[in-house]
């Protein structure tokens, strides 16, 4: 997916109000799966390894692992929700 397509999809989601609904749904699913706790523990572990904690370096270390920690079923469900929205928007 190109940056322009991604931007266009996000704009349509925001304009329709679906972005907020999708965001809330994803947050709830992540919370229920324990993802927030896992990422928090990961960030604390990384921060304890650094003499001076800088947000940018912490994000650089934690973000790829945090993305990997998202359950596959949440990823699939999210993509299906976006696809369903786009199908309706294109009709």
Q: Is the pLDDT of residue 21 over 80?
A: yes
Rounded Cα distance, 83 and 35, in Å: 24
Tokens at 67, concatenated: 């993305």
Q: How many CB atoms lie within 10 A of CB 89?
A: 13
Torsion angle of the four alpha carbons 26, 27, 33, 39, in this order, in degrees rounded to the nearest 10? 120
Choosing among 1.10.246.140, 2.40.70.10, 2.60.40.10, 3.40.50.300, the CATH entry for 13-90 is: 1.10.246.140
pLDDT tens for each residue of 67-76 = 999 999 999 9
The predicted pLDDT at position 89 comes to: 81
Tens digit of pLDDT for each residue in 37-90? 999 999 999 999 989 999 999 999 999 999 999 999 999 999 999 999 988 887
Under 8 Å between Cβ of 30 and 74: yes
Q: DSSP secondary-structure letter at 74?
A: H
User: Residue 18: its pLDDT value, please?
Assistant: 93
What pLDDT was estimated at residue 35? 98
Q: Is the pTM of this model over 0.85?
A: no
């Amino acid at each position: 997916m190109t940056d322009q397509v991604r931007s266009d999809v996000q704009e349509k989601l925001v304009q329709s109000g679906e972005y907020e609904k999708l965001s809330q749904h994803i947050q709830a699913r992540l919370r229920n799966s324990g993802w927030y706790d896992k990422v928090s523990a990961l960030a604390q572990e990384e921060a304890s390894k650094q003499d001076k904690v800088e947000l940018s370096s912490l994000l650089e270390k934690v973000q790829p692992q945090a993305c990997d920690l998202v359950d596959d079923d949440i990823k699939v469900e999210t993509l299906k929700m976006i696809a369903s929205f786009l199908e309706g928007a294109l009709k």
